[in-house]
């Protein structure tokens, strides 16, 4: 489970060490991961608001310092308008003038230092937020490509398995047909050899053998048909599972797009930043971040937010059991039908 305490020091707090299961990742771990990402996004928003509040506070302090400097400068100007001879000043008045100059210089220096610290803090906070957003977009794009690659590999393995099962069923059917033909020839040979010695007994024995052979052949054909129908049902079930997996992967992509839509408001300036003077270094970088995301191949929706669906992650599905020996005369199943059903995905 991803918690805010585990990933608070990371620049982009993303963990993808999920346990692999068949046909996807563990859905509970993915839910925890999504909740962790949402918590980190909320923390990023809180950090951003704190940085903005700090910048506003420093701006107010800077304005107050500027007002104090202006007032002191006005006082100095008023004092300077009346020329005073140094010899006419008493020692106490001269000391007061020196202290006034020193105080004005100290206030000016403190105001300049506060202004520099304010701008440096705001610039650093903006850079951190921009880097977090860019790295989050890149990570989501990488995960999307990995899921698409996994989907293609699963489809290729499934088609190969269906093709192998169809070829094996056809081979077993040919072997059983040949064995049945040899058995029929042996029965006919035995019938001709025994007909001259014991015609009546041979006829009865042959009739019993034919009846047993027919029953066995009927049973084998019936079993072959049942097995073929079971193979077709398993193949169709596997195709349905693949279709559902493809739908879940598409839902994951849509969830990633919705997550990108949740991240997009972080790239826009706040109302206070939008009304700032033209010299504000934060506002011009927002369109550049959006253009960088679009250049990376990640489509950004125009608006709206939604959390990732709990059902968007693939569950571990079990494959049908392996092929079994097919009795003779499998006439109800054609390999091309199995391949056609698997190629729908």
pLDDT at 108 (0 to 100) = 77
Contact between residue 14 and residue 300 where contact means Cβ atoms under 8 Å apart: no
Contact between residue 67 and residue 148 where contact means Cβ atoms under 8 Å apart: no
Question: Per residue in 301-342, pLDDT tens?
Answer: 444 333 333 433 333 343 444 444 334 333 333 334 433 333
Does the pLDDT of residue 345 top 80, yes or no? no
Q: Which residue in this structure is represented by tokens 């049942």?
A: 226
Question: Per residue in 24-77, pLDDT tens?
Answer: 667 787 788 888 888 888 888 888 888 888 888 888 887 888 788 788 777 767
Show the tokens assigned to 73: 């400068």
pLDDT at 78 (0 to 100) = 72
pLDDT at 238 (0 to 100) = 92
The rounded distance, in Å, linking the Cα atoms of 326 and 224 is: 6
pLDDT at 269 (0 to 100) = 67
Does the pLDDT of residue 185 top 70, yes or no? yes
DSSP-derived letter for residue 310 is G
**Of all helices (H) and strands (E), which one includes residue 25?**
strand 24-25
pTM above 0.85, yes or no: no
**Of all helices (H) and strands (E), which one includes residue 20?**
strand 20-21
More confident residue, 127 or 203: 127
Does the pLDDT of residue 233 top 60, yes or no? yes
pLDDT at 338 (0 to 100) = 36
**Of all helices (H) and strands (E), which one includes residue 21?**
strand 20-21
Show the tokens assigned to 115: 């202004």
Which string of DSSP letters, residue by residue, matches 271-289? HHHHTS-TT-SSTTHHHHH
Confidence of residue 247 (pLDDT cuts 50, 70, 90): very high
Radius of gyration of the chain (CA): 41
Q: Which residue in this structure is represented by tokens 């047909």?
A: 177
pLDDT at 23 (0 to 100) = 59
Question: Per residue in 205-217, pLDDT tens?
Answer: 778 888 899 899 9
Does the pLDDT of residue 296 top 50, yes or no? no
Output the average pLDDT for the chain. Answer: 71
Question: Per residue in 107-125, pLDDT tens?
Answer: 778 877 877 887 787 778 7
The domain total for the chain is 1
Does the pLDDT of residue 287 top 70, yes or no? no
- What is the chain's length? 345
Strand partners, 20: 25
Q: Which domain holds residue 239?
A: 4-342
Q: How many CB atoms lie within 10 A of CB 185?
A: 10
The rounded distance, in Å, linking the Cα atoms of 191 and 195 is: 6
Confidence of residue 279 (pLDDT cuts 50, 70, 90): very low
Confidence of residue 11 (pLDDT cuts 50, 70, 90): very low
């Amino acid at each position: 489970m991803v918690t805010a305490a585990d990933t608070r020091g990371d620049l982009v707090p993303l963990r993808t060490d999920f346990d692999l299961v068949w046909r996807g990742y563990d859905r509970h771990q993915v839910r925890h991961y999504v909740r962790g990402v949402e918590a980190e996004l909320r923390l990023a928003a809180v950090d951003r608001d704190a940085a903005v509040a700090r910048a506003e506070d420093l701006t107010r302090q800077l304005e107050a310092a500027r007002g104090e400097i202006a007032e002191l400068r006005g006082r100095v100007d008023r004092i300077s308008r009346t020329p005073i001879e140094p010899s006419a000043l008493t020692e106490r008045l001269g000391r007061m003038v020196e202290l006034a100059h020193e105080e004005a210089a100290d206030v000016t220096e403190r105001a300049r230092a506060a202004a520099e610290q304010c701008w440096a803090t705001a610039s650093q906070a903006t850079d951190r937020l921009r880097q977090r957003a860019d790295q989050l977009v890149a990570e989501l794009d990488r995960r999307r490509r990995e899921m698409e690659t996994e989907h293609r590999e699963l489809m290729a393995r499934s088609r190969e398995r269906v093709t192998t099962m169809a070829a094996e069923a056809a081979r077993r059917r040919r072997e059983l047909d040949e064995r049945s033909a040899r058995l029929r020839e042996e029965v006919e040979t035995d019938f001709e050899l025994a007909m001259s010695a014991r015609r009546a007994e041979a006829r009865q024995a042959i009739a019993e053998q034919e009846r047993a052979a027919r029953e066995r052949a009927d049973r084998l054909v019936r079993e072959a048909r049942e097995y073929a129908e079971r193979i077709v049902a398993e193949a169709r079930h596997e195709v349905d599972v693949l279709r559902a997996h493809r739908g879940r992967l598409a839902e994951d992509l849509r969830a990633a797009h919705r997550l990108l839509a949740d991240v997009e408001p972080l790239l826009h300036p706040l109302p206070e930043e939008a009304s700032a003077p033209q010299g504000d270094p934060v506002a011009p970088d927002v369109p550049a971040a959006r253009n960088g995301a679009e250049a990376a191949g990640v489509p950004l929706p125009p608006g709206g937010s939604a959390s990732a669906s709990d059902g968007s992650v693939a569950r571990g599905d079990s494959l049908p059991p392996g092929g079994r020996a097919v009795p003779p005369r499998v006439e109800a199943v054609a390999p091309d039908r199995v391949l056609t059903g698997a190629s729908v995905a």
